[in-house]
């Protein structure tokens, strides 16, 4: 920019950009502020000298920052302890909030003030450091311009994580935390409020790009998914903005994180408010969470409830009074002051028919309500500016107080006081540490400062406006997990609600169900499927249902494992019924026994072989009773007893009947001459027959018990939700042998009785035996399929019933007719009648 014309040896500036504020001093620092937020590009057809880029849209907020820098320098110059005997000067330039114009400011700050100042360009402009810039995109450009000259810069608002690269930005310092901390904080906030489906909107600049990238990195491994990512174009474009709003409207993501600044947010929000979109919970980045432009009442319905991380605030005691001294009367020629007045009071200094604004008197009072400029209660960015200026002053102070021979430079030298070089100042900046308002200020090796944020919530103020309320903090120096402190009860959420908004793709899966990811969709969008039986999930949003341990089963809701119901033929209604029937049967049998015993001398008892009858009755009693063994919890002993007891008593019973049949058969055949079969069937022989045929069954049972006895068994296969306690037969072969033997005996008995049925006599026992055996066989034939197909404990009931039914069958067929005669027809109870020889 400075070109040396050799012929004349006079310096001419290619283009001149005068500073907006200057003050001379022994040491000069530059300041770059976005005093305007809009630019107008000249046309570049190069048929005439291009006009400079025109800056529009005065920004009172940045103007306040610039004034804060001036105040800080003035304070330092008045301070006797800091830089005594030296004065600090400044040159403040406007960057117009745009990288290109930021570059212009950076070059201008390097230049001498004008050609008169250094006509031969022999000395460089005495610039030691630059305070600037605001937006990261501009700071990058400024840093690149200053870098070859090793001039340190301290940014008060550039938080982009990209500056952490010391190789690319070696002279960069900042008094704002690196965005890496902010995205961490935002990620923690999203996780904390369970906002798992969020939208991201950013401006088209380095800041937005790096912040979104950082946030995505932080969200990896959390349960938060990003529904959409949208970018507001650099040159605001309504069509694109409306498209973004359409996306916001259609998405289930009610929480929208925005990395942007007032510049692009203002037109965006204006359009947003016309779209009537409701229910959006904004999460604002530090760049706009404390922007006072949005505090107007008209914004509340749309932006109320916004939450975000604001940079640390501070207190600058003299700022309020200092800002009040700025007015058009005191600075009659300053265009910026006039623009400030225009911006604050809506009046014009150069009334023209075009603008139709009233003209300013210049005496309008500055009030607190002109918050864009006068908001001095909790300066944040202005406080950063203040800190940055002090950081330079303290470093310079340390540099000037270097003790010769103990300096930090080569050979322990110090910097020359009358020729301090910027890189020497950088060395001291890196080391500086001082306090303002008890806050320690220093820079780490990357030039970053302490990561601390306030959590700001936008609540309704008394006038219906928006107020920034502090509801917590994020302290990045705390150990992981303790950084975020939120006073939830103080937060007002979007839509003037005290309940946290919900922003999820799918509602959470309740206990008892699990998440099932939808194919091709993010993990946050899922369906909930109920757990299968036998599996449970006891937490919301379970990924998998877990199997219940052995002997446990899921409850109906599938939320807990409960011990499996243990079932066996217990003394419930069925068990009691069986018990009653068997006891009744046993009693009945004993009653018959009593009747027979009482009438033992009568013909019918004697004819029918009283001893065998008593045996049968005894065996039948046992048969009735042995069905009781099937009821109750199966144990080692009861299992062994069940089948053996039943089979032996039945064998005994049928053996007796068999004996009787044989006797009947023999008695009647014996009447034929020449037969003395009766000799072979005396009481002794009868007993032997009974005994030996029962013995066979006893032997089978003994072999069964010794080799492979029945044992109690917990059957879990039949029904998974229950444990059925049953007796496993052990050897199935033995089981069927036992049954088979009884069957064989019964059949044999049946055949014999069948043969004897036609024998003469009024009272033919054989008829009844045939009949009883028929019933017996029928019962047991029916039993087999029923037994095999009955589940677990019902098999026992079936067997028990079969025992009872067949016992009753025997009892009735064999004894009912006799009892009938004994008790009701005693006149027929004679030998003659029984033999059918009674005279009619
Ligand atoms: N922290 C932001 C940044 O580093 C603040 C900012 C200032 C900003 N001006 C901006 C962000 C303009 C976007 C656009 O950039």
- Mean of the pLDDT values across residues 558-579? 86
CA torsion, ordered 506, 509, 514, 519, to nearest 10 deg: 0
The torsion region of residue 799 among left (phi > 0), alpha (psi -120 to 50) and beta comes to alpha
- CB of 261 closer than 6 A to ligand 1? yes
Ligand 1 centre distance from Cα of residue 646 (Å): 94
Work out the pLDDT band at 219, boundaries 50, 70, 90: very high
Is the CB of 135 within 6 Å of ligand 1? yes
Q: How confident is the model at residue 727 (pLDDT cuts 50, 70, 90)?
A: confident
214, burial (CB in 10 Å: exposed 0-12, middle 13-18, buried 19+): buried
**Closest C-alpha to ligand 1, atom 10:** 135
Residue 311, pLDDT > 70, answer yes
- Confidence band, pLDDT 50/70/90 cuts, at residue 369: low
Which tokens belong to 507?
């509602």
pLDDT in tens, 586-614: 999 999 999 988 888 888 787 767 788 88
Ligand 1 binding pocket mutation candidate from 261, 286, 288, 448 (most atoms within 8 A of CB): 261
CA of 544 to the centre of ligand 1 (A): 44
Q: Ligand 1 in contact with 199 (CB < 6 A)?
A: no
d(CA 366, CA 344): 9
**Distance from Cα 323 to the centre of ligand 1, integer Å:** 24
Say if ligand 1 is within 6 A of residue 98 CB: no
Distances (CA, A) of 390 to 396, 429, 450, 758: 10, 11, 16, 134
Check residue 120 and give left, alpha or beta (phi > 0: left; psi -120 to 50: alpha): alpha
C-beta of 308 in contact with ligand 1 (< 6 A): no
d(CA 102, CA 95): 4
Query: How would residue 203 be classed by pLDDT, with cut points 50, 70 and 90?
Result: very high
Confidence band, pLDDT 50/70/90 cuts, at residue 45? confident
Q: Is the pLDDT of residue 630 over 50?
A: yes
Tally Cβ neighbours within 10 Å of residue 78.
8
Contact 433, 266 (CB under 8 A): no
What is the pLDDT, as a whole number, of residue 189?
95
- Establish whether residue 253 lines the binding site of ligand 1, counting it when its CB lies within 6 angstroms of any ligand atom: no
Mean pLDDT over 537-562 rounds to: 90
User: Residues near 376 by Cβ (< 8 Å), separated by ≥ 6?
Assistant: 64, 316, 319, 320, 323, 382
Lowest mean pLDDT among 189-203, 303-317, 767-781: 767-781
- Nearest-atom index, ligand 1, CA of 206: 15
**For residue 106, how far is its CA from the centre of ligand 1 (angstroms)?**
17
Dist CA 723 CA 718 (whole Å)? 8
- 654 near 814, Cβ under 8 Å? no
pLDDT at 799: 86
> Considering only CA atoms, which residue is closest to atom 14 of ligand 1?
261
Q: Are 290 and 264 in contact (CB under 8 A)?
A: no
Q: What is the pLDDT of residue 1?
A: 46
796 touches 786 (CB < 8 A): no
Q: DSSP for 613-627?
A: HHHHHHHHHHHHHHG
Distances (CA, A) of 419 to 26, 49, 79, 123, 424: 10, 38, 23, 11, 10
- Helix (H/G/I), strand (E/B), else coil: 396: helix
* Closest ligand 1 atom number to CA of residue 159: 4
DSSP summary character for residue 828: G
pLDDT of 582 above 70: yes
103-156 pLDDT per residue, tens: 999 998 888 666 555 555 555 557 899 998 999 999 999 999 999 999 999 999
Calpha distance 784→735 (Å, rounded) = 12
Measured distance CA(443)–CA(821) in Å, rounded: 121
Higher pLDDT, 658 or 13: 658
Checking DSSP bridges between strand 36-40 and strand 54-58, what pairing results, if any? Answer: antiparallel
Out of 133, 266, 287, mutate this one to test ligand 1's pocket (max ligand atoms within 8 Å of CB): namely 287
CB 139 within 8 A of CB 153: yes
- Smallest CA-to-CA distance from 346 within 333, 329, 365, 359 is with 359
Residue 230: count of CB within 10 angstroms of its CB: 17
Model pLDDT, residue 368: 61
- pLDDT by residue (tens digit) across 244-284? 999 999 999 999 999 999 888 999 999 999 998 888 999 99
State both tokens at 52: 């400079």
Using alpha carbons, select from 675, 176, 708 the residue that is nearest to residue 448.
176
Ligand 1 center to 658 CA (angstroms): 110
The pick from 62, 99, 133, 135 for probing ligand 1's pocket by mutation, whose C-beta has the most ligand atoms within 8 angstroms, reads: 135
**Ligand 1 mean position, distance from CA 189 (Å):** 21
Only one residue has tokens 């004349």, namely: 8
Specify the higher pLDDT residue, 348 or 566: 566
- Span from the CA of 428 to the centroid of ligand 1 (angstroms): 27
Q: What would the two tokens of residue 187 be? A: 């990620």
Q: How far is the CA of 291 from the centre of ligand 1 (A)?
A: 12
Compute the distance from residue 160 Cα to the ligand 1 centre, in Å: 8
């Amino acid at each position: 920019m400075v070109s040396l014309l050799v012929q004349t040896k006079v310096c001419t500036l290619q283009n001149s950009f005068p500073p907006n504020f200057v003050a001379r001093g022994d040491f000069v620092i530059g300041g770059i502020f976005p005093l305007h937020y809009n630019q107008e590009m000249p046309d570049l057809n190069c048929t005439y000298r291009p006009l400079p880029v025109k800056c529009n849209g005065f920004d009172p907020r940045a103007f306040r920052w610039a004034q804060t820098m001036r105040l800080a320098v003035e304070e330092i110059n008045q301070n006797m302890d800091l830089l005594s005997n030296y004065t600090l000067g400044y040159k403040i330039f406007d960057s117009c909030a745009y990288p290109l114009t930021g570059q212009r400011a950076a070059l201008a700050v390097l230049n001498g003030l004008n050609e008169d100042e250094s006509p031969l360009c022999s000395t460089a402009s005495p610039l030691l450091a630059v305070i600037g810039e605001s937006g990261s995109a501009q700071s990058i450009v400024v840093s690149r311009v200053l870098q070859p000259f090793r001039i340190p810069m301290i940014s008060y608002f550039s938080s982009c994580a990209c500056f952490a690269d010391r190789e690319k930005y070696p002279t960069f310092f900042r008094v704002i935390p690196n965005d890496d901390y902010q995205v961490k904080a935002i990620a923690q906030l999203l996780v904390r409020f369970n906002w798992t489906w969020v939208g991201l909107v950013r401006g088209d600049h380095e800041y937005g790009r790096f912040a979104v990238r950082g946030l995505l990195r932080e969200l990896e491994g959390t349960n938060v998914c990003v529904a959409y990512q949208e970018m507001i174009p650099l040159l605001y474009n309504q069509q694109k903005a409306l498209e973004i709003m359409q996306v916001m409207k259609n998405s289930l993501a009610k929480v929208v994180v925005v990395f942007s600044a007032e510049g692009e947010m203002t037109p965006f929000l204006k359009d947003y408010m016309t779209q009537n979109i409701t229910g959006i919970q904004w999460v604002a980045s530090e760049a706009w969470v404390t922007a006072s432009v949005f505090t107007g009442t008209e914004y509340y319905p749309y932006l109320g409830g916004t939450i975000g991380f604001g940079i640390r605030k501070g207190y600058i005691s003299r700022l309020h009074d200092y800002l009040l001294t700025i007015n058009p009367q005191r600075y009659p020629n300053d265009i910026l002051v006039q623009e400030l007045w225009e911006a604050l009071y809506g009046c014009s200094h150069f009334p023209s028919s075009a603008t139709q604004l009233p003209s300013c008197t210049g005496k309008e009072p500055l009030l607190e309500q002109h918050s864009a400029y006068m908001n001095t209660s909790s300066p944040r960015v202005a406080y950063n500016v203040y800190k940055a200026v002090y950081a330079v002053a303290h470093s310079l102070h340390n540099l000037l107080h270097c003790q010769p021979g103990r300096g930090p430079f080569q050979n322990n030298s110090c910097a020359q006081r009358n020729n301090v070089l910027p890189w020497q100042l950088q060395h001291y900046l890196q080391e500086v540490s001082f306090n303002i308002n008890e806050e320690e200020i220093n820079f780490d090796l990357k030039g970053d400062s302490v990561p601390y944020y306030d959590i700001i919530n936008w609540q309704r103020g008394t006038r219906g406006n928006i107020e920034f309320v502090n509801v917590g903090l994020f302290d990045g120096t705390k150990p992981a997990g303790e950084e975020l402190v939120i006073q939830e009860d103080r937060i007002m959420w979007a839509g003037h609600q005290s309940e946290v908004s919900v922003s999820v793709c799918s509602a959470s899966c309740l206990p008892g169900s699990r998440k099932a990811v939808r194919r091709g969709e993010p993990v946050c969008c899922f369906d909930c499927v109920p757990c299968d039986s036998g599996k449970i999930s006891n937490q919301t949003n379970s990924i998998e249902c877990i199997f219940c341990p052995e002997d446990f089963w899921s409850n109906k809701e599938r939320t807990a494992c409960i011990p499996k119901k243990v079932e066996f033929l217990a003394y419930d209604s069925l068990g009691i019924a069986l018990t009653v029937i068997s006891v009744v049967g046993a009693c009945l049998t004993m009653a018959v026994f009593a009747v027979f015993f009482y009438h033992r001398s009568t013909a019918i008892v004697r004819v029918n072989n009283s001893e065998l009858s008593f045996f049968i009755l005894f065996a039948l009693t046992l048969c009735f009773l042995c069905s009781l063994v099937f009821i109750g919890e199966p144990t080692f002993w009861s299992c062994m007893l069940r089948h053996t007891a039943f089979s032996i008593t039945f064998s005994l019973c049928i053996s007796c009947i068999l004996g009787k049949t044989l006797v009947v058969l023999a008695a009647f055949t014996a009447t034929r001459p020449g037969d003395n079969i009766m000799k072979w069937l005396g009481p002794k022989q009868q007993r032997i027959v009974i005994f030996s045929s029962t013995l066979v069954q006893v032997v089978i049972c003994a072999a069964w018990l010794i080799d492979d006895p029945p044992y109690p068994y917990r059957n879990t296969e039949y029904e998974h939700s229950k444990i059925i306690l049953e007796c496993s037969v052990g050897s199935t072969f033995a089981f069927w042998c036992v049954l088979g033997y009884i069957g064989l005996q019964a059949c044999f008995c049946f055949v014999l009785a069948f043969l004897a049925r036609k024998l003469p006599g009024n009272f033919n026992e054989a008829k009844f035996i045939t009949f009883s055996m028929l019933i017996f066989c029928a019962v047991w034939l029916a039993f087999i399929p029923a037994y095999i197909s009955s589940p677990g404990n019902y098999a026992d009931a079936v067997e028990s019933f079969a025992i009872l039914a067949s016992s009753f069958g025997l009892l009735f067929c064999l004894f009912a007719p006799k009892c009938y005669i004994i008790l009701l027809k005693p006149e027929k109870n004679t030998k003659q009648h029984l033999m059918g020889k009674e005279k009619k």
